[in-house]
Structure 1
């Protein structure tokens, strides 16, 4: 098992990070929380979770052990796979998600794509007593981007590309992203994607 990968951040999108370590490039699937935490850094360490099947070999990367622990708890719930777990960790910070589960907030859990009332209840029943009491880290960022002109288009394109990779149709994604950028033009791309996840 690979515990973590440490090296140079070679490429970064809201859904993937590529780390070069000892001459090998590792592509890791990441959440928006991890994207926000490592954005702008050169040397990084990501804690990993491997998925090895006959037809695929996937590496998930997390900026903290806490986020990885929540991911592992989520995928332990029947019917919750890695993609859905990443959606949860992109829509909410680990602290928010832990509190949502502890407070049995079915409505917020249902706001994640593909999660209905039964799945939300199952997550609560299975995980309420397993969430670590010390779960909590501030991953909020107030970075302001210049979204005028070319920068605005790049932000929109990056947000729509990330939502498409998460399984949402491009057209509705673009419509929502443009709506968010129009009303809050100073938001960084990860914040735009988080808002879009709750509106799609």
Structure 2
């Protein structure tokens, strides 16, 4: 219903803010990550998600579209509601969450308040590949000095291919390091 709100920040706390836009004051629930982006601002744009419940309409705001998209993906997981999704995104940045999912690091997720082993495993299972697709393959949170085979591996995993299968395909290509990332991905897809 609301894609974003832009206006003057009337009140702000680490979990809630009031935003005046067009003569209307909006109460917006935020994450700590969003708060860190807006803490020193007087005006801002927040990308919003409206949750309509039987007893209330609750508005959530995010500093960027990536965080909002991740929030929405978390909401689609059985057992993860808006409060839990907000706690996850307050405890972990989207990059940290992406890294935990990419490396299947359940321990990082279990450190978040309210996330047990089963929920952590469900998050890893259901978001594997989804969170990673939000970003361009060149900006993944893998180490900054990737080799061409590592970049190709990340891209293949983003395409939904299991990590083991992608690694085997790349190993079968003899001149992998002399190819561009795009050429290596194409050859690996042919080997699969």
TM-score normalised by structure 1 residue count = 0.66
Task: Say if 1:121 and 1:137 are closer, same or farther in 2 by CA, change over 3 A.
Answer: closer
Alignment pair present for 1:64 and 2:64: yes
- Post-superposition Cα deviations, 1:4-40, rounded to whole Å, max 9, x if no partner, equal 0000011100000110011110010000000000111
- RMSD after superposition: 1.7
Residue in 2 that maps onto 1:55? 55
Residue in 1 that maps onto 2:18? 18
Shift of 1:102: 1.2
- Post-superposition Cα deviations, 1:71-116, rounded to whole Å, max 9, x if no partner, equal 0111110000000001011111111111111111111101112211
Q: For 1:45, what is the secondary structure of its paired residue?
A: strand
**Retained in 1: the 8 A contact 2:132–2:140?**
no
Residue in 2 that maps onto 1:102? 102
**Retained in 1: the 8 A contact 2:19–2:25?**
yes
Distance 1:121 1:30 in 2: 25
Distance 1:63 1:33 in 2: 8
Alignment of 1:28-177 (within 5 A): 28-133=28-133, 134=135
Distance 1:99 1:88 in 2: 14
Distance 1:64 1:132 in 2: 16
- Post-superposition Cα deviations, 1:133-175, rounded to whole Å, max 9, x if no partner, equal 427699xxxxxxxxxxxxxxxxxxxxxxxxxxxxxxxxxxxxx
Please list every run of 5 or more consecutive structure 2 residues that lacks an aligned counterpart in the other structure: 142-192
Shift of 1:54: 1.7
**Retained in 2: the 8 A contact 1:33–1:89?**
yes
* Runs of at least 4 residues off by over 6 Å: 135-138
Alignment of 1:168-187 (within 5 A): none
- Say which one has the larger Rg: 2
TM-score normalised by structure 2 residue count = 0.69
Alignment pair present for 1:4 and 2:7: no
Question: Higher relative contact order at CA 8 Å, sep ≥6: structure 1 or structure 2?
Answer: 1
